[in-house]
Amino acid sequence: MCAVVKPNPYNMNHNTDTIVLSYNESLLRQSDVDILKGPFWLNDTIISFFFEYLETYVFKNNTALSFVSPEVTQCIKISQQQELCVFLEPLLSNAKKDFIFFALNDHEKIDMSGGSHWSLLVFSRPEKRIFHYDSSSGINELQAFKFGQKILKYFALPVQEKIDNVLCLQQNNGYDCGMHVLCNAENLASFAVCNGKIKGWDCPKLNNETISAKRLEILDIIEKLRVKEPVDHFKQRE
């Protein structure tokens, strides 16, 4: 089971936690960036940032893709079916989205943050299916089933046998579930853009080397964006 095996020693309050990067809707502080430097479980902020980076930079010319932040995903998860339009309509209003990516957390409580495991859930409109990728197979299966049902019903699609738990690379430690989510999301998005689908024997598989290298890759992305787009120091004083 995925869990936070080590506490993050870089946690600070916002009065001393320096802003490193402001990127569109994402605000990264030093404590967020330091999570990437050690064997730590990824927080919502890092996942939100990378999802936003994928949508606004890597796949900016592919309007059929949508990457939903963990915060919005959690709101969808705990909301009633009739309330989903509040969260989904703003995401889908500008263009038809064929592939929607969600970072799913196992946290159930409404009044506080938390959770110990991330997995990736993808809605494919062309295939009229939900695909679930869990790097610790079975941990988030019930979460994915309940969440997938909500999404299928929102799009007025049948639920029966339309949610696939896909065999995928399994994590070899207790903290990299979030990295698997990010790597799977990028890999599947690339495949979907080229093939118009998610499911396929020819979809490239992840390997442990890709997962291991991703932390340094994201740190490099943050640094390059920081140099290109300096932090607004007025915001830093807030």
> For 117-149, what is each residue's pLDDT tens digit?
999 999 999 999 999 999 999 899 999 999 999
Residue 12 domain flag: no
Res. 83 pLDDT band, cuts 50 70 90: confident
Residue 9 domain flag: no
Using DSSP, state whether 19 is helix, strand or coil: strand
Q: What is the DSSP secondary-structure string of 166-192?
A: E--PPPSSSS-HHHHHHHHHHHHHHHH
pLDDT of residue 93: 67
Residue 107 domain flag: yes
Kindly report the number of other CB atoms within 10 A of residue 123's CB atom: 25
Residue 218 domain flag: yes
Q: What is the CATH number of the domain that holds 178?
A: 3.40.395.10
Tokens of 179: 């990295």
* 203 is a catalytic site residue: no
pLDDT above 90 as % of the chain? 64
Report the relative pairing of strands 99-105 and 65-68 from DSSP bridges: parallel
Residue 48 domain flag: yes
| Range 40-56 average pLDDT | 95
Using DSSP, state whether 158 is helix, strand or coil: coil
Kindly report the number of other CB atoms within 10 A of residue 51's CB atom: 24
106, pLDDT greater than 90: no
| Domain that residue 37 falls in | 19-236
Number of domains in the chain: 1
Residue 8 domain flag: no
Residue 96 domain flag: yes
Q: Which of 32, 106, 134, 176 is catalytic?
A: 134
* 14 is a catalytic site residue: no
Using DSSP, state whether 93 is helix, strand or coil: coil
| Range 164-189 average pLDDT | 95
* 177 is a catalytic site residue: yes
3, pLDDT greater than 50: no
| Mean residue pLDDT across the chain | 86
Q: How far apart are CA 88 and CA 119, in angstroms?
A: 20
| Range 136-164 average pLDDT | 92
Residue 183 domain flag: yes
